[in-house]
Structure 1
Amino acid sequence: MSRTSTALIALAIAGLAVGLGLRFAAMPSAAQIAWTLGTLPVLAALLIEIVRALARGEVGLDIVAALSMSAALLFGETLAAQVVAVMYAGGTFLEAYAEGRARADMSALLARVPRVAHRHSGDGLEEVALDALAPGDRILVRRGEVTPVDGTLASATALLDTSALTGESLPVRIGPGASVMSGAANAGEAFDMIATHRAAESTYAGIVRLVEAAARARAPMARMADRASLGFLAVTLAIAGAAWGLTGDPIRAVAVLVIATPCPLILAVPVALVAGLSRAARFGVLIKGAQALEALSRVKVLILDKTGTLTDGTPKLTAILTEGIDETETLRLAAALEQASGHPVAQALVAEAQGRGLALPVPEAVCEAPGEGLTGRIEGHAVAIGGPGFVAAALGQPAPDLPPAEPGALRVTLGVDDRIVAHLTLADRLREDTPGFLAAARRLGIRRIILATGDRPEIAARVAAPLGLDAVEAGLVPADKVAIVLRERSAGPVMMVGDGVNDAPALAAADVGVAMGARGAAASAEAAQVVLLVDRLDRLLPGIEVAQRSIAIAWQSVAVGLGLSVLGMIAAAFGLISPVEGAIAQEAIDVAVILNALRALAIRPRGIAPATEAA
């Protein structure tokens, strides 16, 4: 919160206290002077802010506050003017405090940005600025430090705390060669990692850029509140003018102005929206500003990409058919040879073997035919792996007669010495959380769910079969996805979820674009309005619910605050409330409005266990 707001509330309270002391000391004239002097700094600061707002083309309810203080001073109601000054300065102070608290989780992300890294150099370590790191550098990450760039683990093991990034409260243990996300905290012993990206290109740098931009866009609701404030200003002046004109008593007009100042429209909307942004970040959902938050709350149509969204996006071992060799030995030999390849299938087999705790020997005399397979020697045995035709040719045998694989699946054959010993099947599997996510999305008000993919129709049909989708669109190019987004707008606001470069145009065209995972394609993260910081589709659910409930809280605060203010103005117009009583009543309304808006910070989405929230 700013020093100005702190100084203004201090001056206003001091003026009120001194004036009350003088009043009780039977010095009414001195009390009037003290209250006037306590009001003037707040009124001056308010007038300066009004002039600046008018220069920007903005007109708000701060004008009512200025009118009420000025009118109260003009007609000798100095105590009422002082109470309004305390009220206004206190409201500004509370709003600054509330927004500061609401932004706390986002600020925590920014505060964790590392400044230096410890890079291996020769036989020692050197401390270097992050900008000096390059791909291939070996970096030491000490206990408690934050990983400075994206990379791969070069030590035997590491324990990473990713709670600030993904909302996962339990540390994750990873093994050698595993990916290390920048921004994760080292919760275990020191480890070495190899940088794969420069600092400016890493995951955490991208998240920081998104966080810094998140609060800049104003929501349509906030802009509508500005427009509504003009109407409320007109109503206030009309009631005040009628009260004075019909009764001839200017004090009633002063009382009307006082109780109308400031207005819940000024306080409730920004506090609730920023609190919602901060709360969503606690669950690993980064929403780029209040406008995106409001759009997310209204979504009725969900369009999903397939690869990397509904599915894992990487091939996984689904079956092993062996001929005279057990499955474990098959996987050990296959993965050992595949260590020499960077192909996604090779990486999938190596990851599967490491996940089962298999020790993989180093391959020798490896020869790779790009896109076909590899040959080499493992522990003295000649090994070949790849397509059935490639392996058969390498062994000098006829191609095996195999039934076709299911749509979207890939079959890999393993040969050892002079015979084919196994066939391994890999496929991009449906995410485990997908069915539950789709059912929960419908409960949150999404009426239509569509799969839009560039894959072949038979593959899309296989993936969609158990999901109960409303439509399946396959064989699409990026322009086709954009056309589907535009077409579906007739059914309501559209949310598009994807992770690849080809999804970026559709993400930008949708009312809400959601990029899967903080390390998805940079183009998709840039085009999207929402980024999931953990690669799980179901993490979008708390984001939707937080958005819906934050907007509901904002409207609730506005409706209740405005309703009470209007009732108070009517009572003041009939002479039932004095200017001082009106000022006190409005102060109570404003405090209640801010506290109610801050309830958005405590939103706990249904079905989200406490363990998934960052500590």
Structure 2
Amino acid sequence: MIVKATDPPTADQEPKAKNLWRDGLAAARRRKTTVIAAFSILAILLHLALRFALRASPTAYQLPLLATLVLGGVPLLYELLQKVWRREFGSDLLGGVSIITSVLLGEYLAGSIIVLMLAGGEALEGYALRSASSVLAALARRTPSIAHRKEGGRILDVALADVAAGDALVIFPHDVCPVDGVVVEGRGLMDESFLTGEPFQMRKTTGSTVISGAINGDSALTIRATRRAADSRFARIMDVMRESEEKRPRLRRLGDRLGAIYTPIAIAVALAAWALSGDPVRFLAVLVIATPCPLLIAIPIAVIGSISLCARRAIIIKSPVVLEQIAECRTAIFDKTGTLTYGEPKLTERLVAPGFDTDEVLSLVASLERYSKHPLARAVLRAAEEAGLALAEAVEVGEKPGRGLLGTVSGRRLQITSRGKLIAQGIAGVDQVAPAAGGLECVVAIDDRYAATLRFRDAPRAESRSFIKHLGPRHQFDRLMIVSGDRESEVRHLAGQVGITVIEAEKSPEEKLAIVRDETARAKTLYVGDGVNDAPAMMAATVGMAIGQNSDVAAEAAGVVVMDDSIAKVDEFMHISRRMRAIALQSAVGGMALSLVGMAFAATGNLSPVAGAISQEVIDVLAVLNALRAALPPREISDL
């Protein structure tokens, strides 16, 4: 099938039409290179079968190769001529000259292999770059298409575009909230962590605000929409993502940079040999041995081998270019929640009033918290379990608006609530409540008397501090930052624990994106995060990494996805990348150096075209064998 591109949209046409036209051209190019690569493989296999297995005549076994050169080589040569017109000289240009040379020499197999290398390389590159456009698809999948609107005692399914501010909407259990709004009926929990940066599921009751894109818990909620879907928080994130995708930088590959130097040298040597000797065979001999297979094959093999090694280490490489770019990054930017921390609250302080026993208070509170779905309840239960405390049965458990969690444990009346609610009730001993501090907290009243304040923080990962401290001396990072949507007190507390001095707190996705763009303009950046609110920043950074599997949107936006919930994998990725770059340079530069020696022999008439082709194959084998080492695990894969 022949795909013909239409003329591009004019300047006065809609941006959407321009995006569709651009995407259509990219898709057509990917299909074409994939078809050429597949056809080349089949043709080469058929040639070998006809020649060695079936002992066919030369005319018969050369036909598949000629078909490859005509159907695959001609389109590729046309594109290479366009590059020459634009004065773009890379390793693939010399490959095109080599195709022509191989045809003139009658080396059809060599020419077909070069066609395969060119088409296969472009197909792999196109596959890697598709991750940017798939981000918007992931966002679209997360956005609901309908809303459940209350009208006259009925619940009607309406299109999202038909929802207006002031409409009453029902959010069913585990539904995604379609618009921003305020709860008017019901109580429950909502997971907002991927949108706000807050590490916990948030309790919702009458009067609480809800954010579009948040995931509802087990209870149905009725909300009053405060914005249309098009004006909602999640819609704005999609707009930022789209803008970030359009401005994503295009990075030159290692092979292209080397080829820009190697190609003119090879052509100059070939022309000089022809001019000085008057023999065009020397021109052909130089070009045959100059065919840049170490660039076209060895570097991709080193990259693919490293991608394979990463996959075995639970590190998914979505864009191969990140393997080349990470070594040049000098600024590391981290999200807080779920990246440097576990994303779960942990009981860190128990401030008990005089007259109460610390362990007894924790045992009573944990006994009651077994009946709560609040995320702090899980932290209390874990603390009681770690302390080896026995739990008792709780009765008369309930949650009354304005009072918090209530119940009776071992004959004692408990109330677990917030500081403000306890003070408003005038509970005895309330003047002993400890001053407010950073993090989350709950206060406990026992038998209508203030008993304790329990404080919680999102605990840093065990390896966060050692990882941060080694980035400068071992990986040459000059600047380390935390950019988070969380509160400044929490971000500053964590930064002190892990050893980072530069922080940006309470930042929206738009503000995160602006910060990363400014930092990337000064130096190449690594951004590590885990949520939807990190996705635009990941795309704007030189290298974006997603930790864990909490968000499909973040995973689509990132060039690297760490499947294990461990920041130590970031260090492994950097070591694999450094090793890949060293092996790729050994293969490419070593192969080119050997080719240059062969070119000197060919230019002086001491190497015929056929001998040059054989010599080049030996060089290719050496370069490829060295490149294959990238897939083998090294002795040391991390220095943490």
Per the normalisation by structure 2, the TM-score is 0.63
The correspondence for 1:331, drawn from 357, 362, 383, is 362
Residue of structure 2 in register with 1:448 after alignment: 479
Which deviates further from its counterpart, 311-320 or 325-334?
325-334
Residue of structure 1 in register with 2:103 after alignment: 70
Change (3 A) 1:228 1:546: closer
Change (3 A) 1:61 1:603: farther
Q: CA deviation at 1:540?
A: 1.2
For residues 23-48 of structure 1, the C-alpha deviation after alignment (integer angstroms, 9 at most, x for no partner) is xxxxxxxxxx9667655533441342
Q: CA deviation at 1:233?
A: 5.2
Distance 1:331 1:363 in 2: 14
Which deviates further from its counterpart, 526-535 or 37-46?
37-46
SS of aligned partner of 1:313: strand
Q: CA deviation at 1:589?
A: 1.2
Q: Which amino acid aligns with 2:367?
A: A
Distance 1:561 1:49 in 2: 26
Q: CA deviation at 1:300?
A: 0.6
Do 1:272 and 1:550's aligned partners in 2 also have CA atoms closer than 8 Å?
yes
Q: CA deviation at 1:302?
A: 1.1
For residues 30-69 of structure 1, the C-alpha deviation after alignment (integer angstroms, 9 at most, x for no partner) is xxx9667655533441342222324556764443443343
Q: CA deviation at 1:518?
A: 1.2
Change (3 A) 1:262 1:11: farther
Distance 1:382 1:567 in 2: 89
SS of aligned partner of 1:469: coil
Q: CA deviation at 1:230?
A: 7.3
Distance 1:487 1:84 in 2: 48
Do 2:430 and 2:450's aligned partners in 1 also have CA atoms closer than 8 Å?
no
What is the identity percentage for the equivalent residue pairs of Structure 1 and Structure 2? 36
Distance 1:372 1:593 in 2: 73
1:402 matches 2:433: yes
Q: CA deviation at 1:500?
A: 3.8
Distance 1:310 1:278 in 2: 26
Distance 2:547 2:504 in 1: 20
Do 2:429 and 2:450's aligned partners in 1 also have CA atoms closer than 8 Å?
no
Change (3 A) 1:421 1:238: closer
Superposed, 1:447-596 pairs within 5 Å as 447-520=478-551, 522-596=552-626
1:310 matches 2:340: yes
1:46 matches 2:69: yes
Change (3 A) 1:467 1:377: closer
Q: Which amino acid aligns with 2:611?
A: E
SS of aligned partner of 1:312: strand
Distance 2:109 2:553 in 1: 53
Change (3 A) 1:41 1:308: closer
Count, aligned residues: 473
Distance 2:402 2:478 in 1: 43
The correspondence for 1:300, drawn from 330, 333, 341, is 330
Change (3 A) 1:65 1:475: closer
Q: CA deviation at 1:360?
A: 5.2
Structure 1 segments unaligned to the other structure (5+ residues): 20-32, 74-80, 104-133, 137-194, 197-216
Change (3 A) 1:85 1:388: closer
Q: CA deviation at 1:438?
A: 0.8
Change (3 A) 1:505 1:362: farther
Do 2:397 and 2:406's aligned partners in 1 also have CA atoms closer than 8 Å?
yes
Q: Which amino acid aligns with 2:414?
A: V
1:253 matches 2:283: yes
Distance 2:49 2:282 in 1: 25
Residue of structure 2 in register with 1:5 after alignment: 41
Do 2:292 and 2:592's aligned partners in 1 also have CA atoms closer than 8 Å?
no
Residue of structure 1 in register with 2:380 after alignment: 349
Do 2:69 and 2:111's aligned partners in 1 also have CA atoms closer than 8 Å?
no
Change (3 A) 1:373 1:525: farther
Residue of structure 1 in register with 2:294 after alignment: 264
For residues 81-100 of structure 1, the C-alpha deviation after alignment (integer angstroms, 9 at most, x for no partner) is 378479769x969x99xx9x
Change (3 A) 1:526 1:351: farther
Q: CA deviation at 1:574?
A: 0.9
Do 2:327 and 2:578's aligned partners in 1 also have CA atoms closer than 8 Å?
yes
Residue of structure 1 in register with 2:398 after alignment: 367
Structure 2 segments unaligned to the other structure (5+ residues): 1-36, 84-91, 129-171, 175-216, 219-247
Q: Which amino acid aligns with 2:44?
A: L
Distance 1:363 1:563 in 2: 79
Residue of structure 2 in register with 1:130 after alignment: none
Residue of structure 1 in register with 2:349 after alignment: 319
Superposed, 1:123-272 pairs within 5 Å as 220-222=251-253, 225-226=255-256, 229=259, 232=262, 235-261=265-291, 263-272=293-302
Per the normalisation by structure 1, the TM-score is 0.65
Distance 1:469 1:61 in 2: 48
Change (3 A) 1:478 1:221: closer
Change (3 A) 1:267 1:415: same
